[in-house]
A = this chain, B = another copy of it.
């Protein structure tokens, strides 16, 4: 469910308010989240142990979406379900001067989670097929070529043991309007607002078209895109958590075999404990 089929995907046909599977109301979602949280937490611990034991596998959750689509809220409510010790969260803002001097994947590579970790990208390399296209910063041949380079990069990550899960948080322009107004009206939310947000909002449909293409062009077997209805926060959180849980279940991490003999070690501490 939510999976982007590269053969026929069209974002315009996805309803941001849909609840096609799973809980139908906030309370049911909260119950489901408790159960998902316990499972995620346990699987993450095993993955972490596997990584310490020399395993190379890890997970990368990529979050994209328009302003106010809830990337931050998803991190709080979904990534917040697991032990923070096993998380690596990276936020990608407007590239710095140094970052701009490098290939667009340079800053991304530096933040790929190490083995055993769940990495979360708050925005990502996908910004580089969205902003430059809509703002006409690079020629079409250039941003189109980036689809290919992104697919090659993600394929390379997959070969290194990275399970990639990409979630597009899909909100309607009406819901964005409400949330922008809420940010402005509530003094403790004003820090989340940037005057530039309105200019981007003015290009909502151009961004939707850019997202639609990017999701279709870059939804691959090793790095699928999921289009998550995000008008309802509780549904968005449940859906991303569920997608992440399924990825971890498929990965099926395993505790490493001890490099020592537990019986020998137990005998040592029980029979020859130097402190007794």
Number of A residues near B (Cβ < 8 Å) is 49
Q: Which residues from 38 to 85 on chain A have a C-beta closer than 8 Å to any C-beta of chain B?
A: 46, 49, 52-53, 72, 75-76, 79-80, 83-85
Q: With A191-B256, A262-B184, A265-B193 in contact, do A202 and B274 touch (Cβ < 8 Å)? A: yes
A92 vs B61: C-alpha distance in the bound complex, in angstroms? 25
Q: How far is the CB of A216 from chain B (nearest CB, A)?
A: 24
Contact of A184 among B76, B91, B185, B266 (CB under 8 A): B266
Q: Scoring A residues 183 to 210 as 1 if CB is less than 8 Å from chain B, else 0, what string do you get?
A: 0110110111111001001101000000
Q: Which residues from 156 to 196 on chain A have a C-beta closer than 8 Å to any C-beta of chain B?
A: 173, 177, 180-181, 184-185, 187-188, 190-195
Q: Give the 10 A-B CB pairs with smallest separation, nearest first.
A: A49-B191, A202-B274, A195-B260, A76-B83, A84-B84, A75-B85, A190-B258, A173-B275, A184-B266, A184-B262
B-contacting residues of A (Cβ < 8 Å)? 46, 49, 52-53, 72, 75-76, 79-80, 83-85, 87, 89, 91, 122, 173, 177, 180-181, 184-185, 187-188, 190-195, 198, 201-202, 204, 255-256, 258-260, 262, 265-266, 268-270, 273-276
